[in-house]
A and B are shown apart, each in its own frame.
Chain A
Amino acid sequence: MASGERTAFENPVVEWIDSRLPIFTMMQKEYGVFPTPKNFNYFWNFGAIAMVMLMIMLVTGIFLAMHYTAHTSMAFDSVERIMRDVNSGWLIRYIHMNGASFFFIAVYIHMFRGMYYGSFKKPRELLWILGVLIFVLMMATAFMGYVLPWGQMSYWGATVITNLFSAIPFVGDSIVTLLWGGFSVDNPTLNRFFALHYLMPFVIFAVVFLHVWALHVTGSNNPLGIEPKGKQDTLPFHPYYTMKDTFGTIVFLFIYAFFVFYAPDYMGHPDNYIPADPLVTPAFIVPEWYFLPFYAMLRSITFGVNIYIGAGAVLAVLAMIPVYSKKTNKELNIGAMVGMFAVAGALFMLGYFAQLKNGAGEIMLNLPLADFFFVSAKLGGVAVMFGSLLLVALMPWLDTHGIRSARFRPLYKTALLVFVALTFVLGIAGGKPAEGLWVYIGQLATLYYLAFFLVILPLLSRFEKGRDLPPSIHEAVLQGAK
């Protein structure tokens, strides 16, 4: 990196180092004069904010690890010792505990930004995939971190989530045994989770490095979604964006600090202040808030795939294949597609109601072969949960529309905002006991989540006309049409 042409620095020490390892030249190129579109809004602050959060988590985490004991009989006590006896231990732990939530807040906004302004599109596909990878690694890290205090939710959350892997055919049980280090969540589990919780942030750090590297190859997207055409469209990163990012970061830290000092346990579950007890199951087990939409999708699959649902799914795929193919819009047979979807929907409903029980506990619809399942409800739930993340990673190939920014795509904008709203609904559903109306609300929201990626995005890519794009960033800014 940054080898080749090099201008000498005035400071002799800097020059001595730079001529041997051009680190100052690289910093100057990548963070000093780096040409950055001049029309960023405040959504573009969240990458820097996420970076700051990662640093805060690393530093506080290292200090917590100095006082933490990864043993089932001592973990809870050691955390309480941090809270009571370690100098400023309560502060470090509250910063770390709430930091996890605020890291996720920053990353969720960062991801929304990418979706809204089409930052994931060519040529930034790999940049996007690396980002999704960071998100998945964060989820694993946060999950294992939540287990460490060894409270009731730690223990039972770990039990529920690790058990999910047993749904994987053939190797599931072996994977669960490997995760546990035995035959239940116990001391070996806690030990390996601690080791991995310490390791993973450094893996995240490495992927963040790749993420930033890829960003500096393509350059940033911007709210207009059109590439800068010359010097009049960009500004040097420093001081324009260094200062703007600093301002945004401080505002974010203000909100974060408010929680650390005035509502430190707001985002946690009170049960986690009860030491883990394998003999007492909590009234209902909920993961941390940032997992709730995915948890809701997991629980929404209350039905297995029988012959009816299977046939419906195959038909839906057949209906969509021409849309995914290279056929032109004129070659598509919309009437046939709608018909196939109608039949697929009807088959799905048959298969669904053939499994649904009414208030008296009787099957609502008796159909032959309805209780032979190709895929069990549990495996279906796990597949949808992990699939929902995979779909995010595949977004560059599901949304192939030529216009990036939702500003010039009113239909995409509406579909995306509905998607965001329903993700919040999923989050609420995930925090409720899986019974009554919330199950159906969760199922409908899950349906939209999947349809958004698999049906709506490909169709909009073909048929949304979109508005006219401005000729350049510079002209758009001058007209005030930001």
Chain B
Amino acid sequence: MTTIKIKVLAVFVSLVMSFSFGFSPAYAAGGGVKAPAQQWHFDGMTGQFDLAAMQRGLKVYREVCAACHGLKRVRYGNLEALGYSEAQIKNIAVDYTVTDGPNDEGEMFDRPARPSDSFVSPYPNDKAAKAVNDGALPTDLSLIIKARAYGPDYLYALLMGYEEGGHGHDVPEGKHWNKYFPGYVISMAPPLSDGIVGYEDGSPETAEQYAHDVVNFLTWAADPYLEERKRMGIAVLIFLAAFAAVMYGVKKRIWADVH
């Protein structure tokens, strides 16, 4: 009797677990080729951030992506999570200018950014961004990984998915063919090519490596508590499993004399 119950329970649990271990979102975006799955350092139940890749990814973001894309939900001070010291972060921040004020004279003024400031966006507002980019709005990248189905795989595939010529389709002037983009025609020019960003740690300076690194960086930007969440999750699951085992014993013992 009890064994039947346990079997039913086990089937239920394993059903839920088996479909959930795919980690795949319930809905996939339509109109593009599905991005092939990649191996990521942050995947799985014990996934962790790859700090070196994230530091390189930050460099790629600052030297390539940041020309058009903002990152407004991340503060310079948050870069501590990438392993930078306070002094290094201050050094990064001073490269940017923020408008502050009004001061005691009632004037707005420019000053270098501080660690408590958010990443400065390349354009003052969306209209300015569209005006410069032929009407296309470069998305803020703070949440891009969460805002796309299979975010990391999709972004990596998109960055590497440009194809010359557009397979005989008519690609409008100033647009590009990308097989992973929903609808295939994308406004963004191919952003990455070999050698455009210099690495100091000897990592290969290839487009693939840049794409890999910037995905690592942006995954952190979208989900800064990923590592803490996964670490806490193991403790919570162990606790609940032990609690369930104890309660099962208690229940069995209490029910032992019932016919």
Contact = CB atoms under 8 A, between A and B. Distances in A.
Given A38-B258, A90-B229, A273-B143, A253 B251 contact: no
Contacts of A254: 13, 237, 240-241, 244
Contact of A273 (B20, B147, B237): B147
A246 interface: yes
Interface in A232-280: 235, 239-240, 243-244, 246-247, 250-251, 253-255, 257-271, 273-274
A432 to B, nearest CB: 10
Contact of A482 (B1, B224, B229): B1
A123 B216 CA distance: 60
B20 A257 contact: no
B20 A266 contact: yes
A258 B254 contact: no
Interface in B69-83: 73
Interface in B104-121: none
Specify which of A83, A239, A250, A255 lies most central, judged by the most chain B CB atoms within 10 Å of its CB. A250
Contacts of B229: 90-91, 94, 261, 264
A247 B16 CA distance: 18
Contacts of B258: 38, 235, 240
A480 B225 CA distance: 51
Interface stretch (A283-291, A342-350, A373-381): A283-291
Interface stretch (B25-33, B198-206, B207-215): B25-33
A257 B146 CA distance: 20
A48 B31 CA distance: 44
A259 B224 contact: no
B185 to A, nearest CB: 14
A209 interface: no
A261 B1 contact: no
B132 interface: no
B251 A261 contact: no
B139 to A, nearest CB: 8
A258 B237 contact: yes
B251 A270 contact: no
A247 B254 contact: no
Given A251-B9, A258-B237, A283 B147 contact: no
B182 interface: yes
A257 B23 contact: no
A262 B26 contact: no
A41 B4 CA distance: 10
Contacts of B31: 283
Nearest to B183: A283
A477 interface: yes
B230 A80 contact: no
B247 A90 contact: no
B182 A265 contact: no
B233 interface: yes
Given A257-B236, A283-B29, A263 B1 contact: no
Interface in A432-482: 433, 477-478, 480, 482
Given A84-B73, A478-B259, A250 B236 contact: no
Contacts of B247: 243, 246-247, 250
Contacts of B151: 270
A9 interface: no
The interface residues of chain A, by DSSP majority, are classed as helix
B41 to A, nearest CB: 16
Contacts of A246: 247, 251
B243 interface: yes
Query: How big is the A interface, by class?
Result: 35 or more
A266 B23 contact: yes
B9 A261 contact: no
A295 to B, nearest CB: 13
A270 B147 contact: yes
A246 B251 CA distance: 9
B248 interface: yes
Given A247-B248, A262-B230, A286 B241 contact: no
Contact of A262 (B147, B233, B240): B233
B224 A431 contact: no
A286 B27 contact: yes
Contacts of B251: 243-244, 246-247
B82 to A, nearest CB: 15
A433 B233 contact: no
A240 B255 contact: yes
A239 B17 CA distance: 31
Contact of A289 (B9, B26, B222, B248): B26
Contact of B146 (A273, A284, A477): A273
Given A262-B23, A262-B230, A80 B244 contact: no
A213 interface: no
B254 A239 contact: yes
Given A258-B237, A261-B232, A270 B148 contact: yes
B26 A267 contact: yes
B128 interface: no
B230 A284 contact: no
A63 interface: no
A254 B147 CA distance: 27
A433 B30 contact: yes
Nearest to B140: A275
Contacts of B97: none
Given A80-B143, A250-B243, A268-B25, 8 more contacts: A90-B229, A91-B232, A94-B229, A254-B244, A258-B233, A261-B230, A266-B26, A270-B148
Q: Considering the complex of A and B, which 6 residue pairs feature the smallest CB-CB distances, nearest first?
A: A261-B233, A273-B147, A247-B247, A273-B146, A250-B244, A254-B240
Interface of B: 1, 5, 8-9, 13, 16-17, 20, 23-27, 29-31, 45, 73, 142-143, 146-149, 151, 182, 222, 224-225, 229-230, 232-233, 236-237, 240-241, 243-244, 247-248, 250-251, 254-255, 258-259
10 contacts: A83-B225, A90-B225, A243-B250, A259-B20, A262-B23, A269-B25, A270-B29, A270-B149, A283-B30, A289-B26
